[in-house]
Structure 1
Amino acid sequence: MGAGPQRSTTCCRARMKRPARPSRRTTHCAPPSRSIQPARRTTSISSPSVWTTRISSLHWRSPTSASPRSARLLRQRGIVLAMKGDFQTAQSSFDEAATRSPDDGLSYVALGLVYLQMGRTPEAVATLRARRRRSPDDALASWFLGEALYRSGAQPGSKEEIEALQALNSAVDLQPDLLQAHLLLAKMLQRNDRLDEALEHLKQALALDPDNAATSYQLAQVYRRQGKTREANELFAKVRDIKADDRDELTRSGLLRIVREGRR
C-alpha cells in the first residue's frame, strides 16, 4: 500500500523534469523578410549610371500610344542607347519617335547624328537637310547638316561646301555657344584661305572654352599662316596629339545638347 503513492510521485516528478518540446509554431532561423531588410543607400539622380538605368528601363515598357509624350520617351531611350554605343537600336528608337510625332524636331536631329556616327552619311545628309528645310531656325539641324556635308567629302568651292558653310553660319547665328560648329566653320574657312573670318570664329570658340585644345591648335595654325610665328609656337606648345576628327566627341556633345534642348 505504501509503495503505490511513492511510485506515482516519482513518476510525476520525472514528468516535470522533462524539457518542454518546442512549439510547432516556432520558426527556426527564418530569414528576414524583405519588409524588414535595412534600407538601401540611395544615389543622387544626377549620377550618370542611375540616369542611364532609369531611362533604359523604357525598353521594357515601350509606349504604344502615338502621342508627343511617347515620342519623347522613345527619344530619351535612344539617347541612352547611343551613349552606350548601341547605335543600331538607338536609330530604331529615334526613327519610331519621329514617326509618332513628326513635329518632334529633336528626334530627327538625333536620328541624323546617329546615322553620321554609323557612317551612313548620305542618310544623315538627307534626314538633316529635310529637317532644316522644314524648320530653318533649328540650330542643331544646321550644325549637324554642316558636319554631315563636310564628312561626305565636300570639296572647296563645291555646292556641298557652300551649303555646309551656310548651315554652320546659320547654326552659330541662332546659338552662338555651339563651340564645335565654330570650330568646323573655322576649319572650312581656313582651307579656303579666309583666315580673318576663321580667326573670328576661333576667338569666339576660345571665349566659350579657354582650355579647349582643338581651338588652340586651330588658332596656332591660323597664326602660323599669317606669319605670327611667336604666337603660333606658344599655342603649339600648349597642345599635343590633337585629333583632327573626333567622332566620339561630336556624338557626346551632340547628344548632350539634344538632352538640354529637350528639357526646355
Structure 2
Amino acid sequence: MREKFFWVTCSSLLLMTSARPAPQIKNRPEIEQHYKKAQEALRAEQDAIAIREFRAILRLDPGNASAHANLGVIAFTEKDYAQASQEFRAALKLQPLLWNARAFLGMSELRLGHRAQAQPLLEESFKNVQDGSLKTKVGMDLITLYYQSKDLNQAVDVVRVLARIRPEAPDVLYTAYRTYSDLAARSLSALAQVAPDSAEMHQILAQALASQDNFPGAMAQYRKALETDPQLPGVHFDLGQVILANSQEEPARKEAEKEFALALAADPTNADSEYMLGEIEWLRSNPQGALERYSHALLFRPDFVDAHIAAGKALTSLGRPAEALAHLREAVRLDPQNEVAHYRLAQAHRRLGREPDAEREEATFRKLRDSHEPVRALFEQVQERPVMHQTIGPNEPQ
C-alpha cells in the first residue's frame, strides 16, 4: 500500500478541518464529494484524478490544511520533494500541529539535501507522531542524520524507541544490530587508544577469542585481566565458562569450579555461577547435587529459563517427573521458542505415561529445531552468551 493512501487513511478525519471554524466552511456537501472521489482515486492509484479533486477542494476551501497535506504525500510518493515540501509548508501554515505533515516535510527536506532544515522537523515530529509506520520512517531518517554527524548515542536513543514500537520488524532489528555494533566498535577503538593494556582490554580480547572458539587464548587473556585488576567484575565467571568450554574433564571441572566459587564470593546472589556449578555436578553424574545448585540459581532469578530446564532435567533423571513438569512448563511459558524446553517436557510427560502430551511436545520440538537450523550457526556466532545454554546430548533420541 502506497504512502499517499496511508496518509488519506490516517487523515480522513482531518480532511474536512480547516484553519477556520467549521461553520464558516461553505459548500460542505460539494467538498465531501470531492474528498470521496479523491479517496477512490488513491485506492485505484490514479494520482492525476486525486490531485484534481484535492485542488478542487482548495478552490472551495483555501484553508483546508489536509488537502494540502494529501497533495504533499502524493508528491512525496512520486519523489517530487520540492512540490511536497511546498504543500506541507502550506498545510502547516494553516495548522501547525499536523505532526504527520511535519514529519513528511522533514523527510522531504532531507531528500532535497537540506539537512539543517530537516533535522529539527524530524526530531520534533518523531516525539509526536502516533502512527508506528510513519514514526519508523522518521526514525530511520533521523538515524541516517545522526550517522552522518557521527552521533551514535543519539542514534541509539532512536533505535530504542523503534524497538519498542516495532520489535519484530526486520529493518528495525537490522538497524539496531548495526548501530549497537558500530557503537561497540567505536568504544573498543577508544579503549585501545587510551588504555591498551588495561584489564578491560584483556577482557575484550578474551571475549573475541572465545567467540572464535580459541578457548586457550581466551583463558590466557582473562588471566591477564585478573593480574591487572583482581577485582574486575565478571571475569572469574567468564574464565570458568571458557575453561569448561575448552574441556569438561574432571581437572577442568575443578579449575572452573574454583572460578565460579570466587565469582560467588564476590556476589553471593550470582545466579549464573550457581547454575554453572550445577552444570559441573551434572557432568559428574550427580543429579541431586546439580538440582540443589539449579534451585539456588532460581531463588536468585526466578525467570532463569535454562535453570528451569536444567532443574526439570535433573528431577526427571531422579525419577520425579511430576515435579519436573512445573519447571519445564515455566521454561516454555518464559521462552516458547526454546526447543530444548519442549524436548525435556516431552521426556517428563513420557515418564508419566502421558503419550499424547509427549507427542505434542516432541512435534513442537522438531518444528522449532527445523526452523532454527538455518540460522543456528550465525546466531551462535553473534549472540552474547552469559551462561552455557541447555542442550540435547548427541546420544539422546531426536
**TM-score by structure 2 length?**
0.44
Paired residue for 2:385, among 253, 256, 259? Answer: 256
Paired residue for 1:148, among 280, 286, 298? Answer: 280
CA 1:113–1:204 in structure 2 vs 1: closer, same or farther (change >3 Å)? same
Matched, 1:103 2:234: no
CA 1:80–1:239 in structure 2 vs 1: closer, same or farther (change >3 Å)? same
Aligned to 2:339: 213
Kindly indicate whether structure 1 or structure 2 has the higher relative contact order, using CA contacts under 8 Å at least 6 residues apart.
Answer: 1
Matched, 1:88 2:216: yes
Structure 1 letter corresponding to 2:307: A
CA 1:79–1:230 in structure 2 vs 1: closer, same or farther (change >3 Å)? same
Task: State the aligned residue count.
Answer: 203
Structure 1 letter corresponding to 2:334: L
Counterpart Cα distance in 2 of 1:121 and 1:174: 23
SS in 1 for 2:385: helix
Counterpart Cα distance in 1 of 2:226 and 2:331: 32
Paired residue for 1:137, among 243, 246, 269? Answer: 269
SS in 2 for 1:239: helix
CA 1:179–1:50 in structure 2 vs 1: closer, same or farther (change >3 Å)? same
Q: Is the 8 A contact 1:91 1:111 kept in 2?
A: yes
Q: Is the 8 A contact 1:145 1:167 kept in 2?
A: yes
Structure 1 residue 54 displacement after superposition: 5.4
Structure 1 residue 58 displacement after superposition: 8.4
Structure 1 residue 117 displacement after superposition: 0.2
Structure 2 letter corresponding to 1:219: L
Q: Is the 8 A contact 1:190 1:198 kept in 2?
A: yes
Structure 2 letter corresponding to 1:214: V
Measured against aligned partners, the alpha-carbon deviations of 1:23-61 in whole angstroms (never above 9, x if no partner) come to xxxxxxxxxxxxxxxxx9999683376567557768966
Structure 2 letter corresponding to 1:92: A
Structure 2 letter corresponding to 1:230: P
Matched, 1:77 2:209: no
Structure 1 residue 82 displacement after superposition: 1.2
- Counterparts of 1:219-258 in structure 2, within 5 Å, are 219-240=345-366, 255-257=384-386
Paired residue for 1:46, among 177, 180, 187? Answer: 177
Aligned to 1:123: 255
SS in 2 for 1:46: helix
Structure 2 letter corresponding to 1:256: R
Counterpart Cα distance in 1 of 2:293 and 2:273: 8
Aligned to 2:302: 176
Q: Return 5+ residue gaps in structure 2 as ranges.
A: 1-146, 151-173, 370-376, 388-398
Q: Is the 8 A contact 2:236 2:259 kept in 1?
A: yes
Q: Return 5+ residue gaps in structure 1 as ranges.
A: 1-39, 243-247, 259-264
Aligned to 1:113: 241
Structure 2 letter corresponding to 1:238: T
Q: Is the 8 A contact 1:132 1:138 kept in 2?
A: yes
The sequence identity of aligned pairs, in percent, is 26
CA 1:60–1:145 in structure 2 vs 1: closer, same or farther (change >3 Å)? same
CA 1:144–1:252 in structure 2 vs 1: closer, same or farther (change >3 Å)? farther
Structure with bigger gyration radius: 1
Superposition CA RMSD, Å: 3.5
Structure 1 residue 194 displacement after superposition: 1.8
Counterpart Cα distance in 1 of 2:381 and 2:318: 29
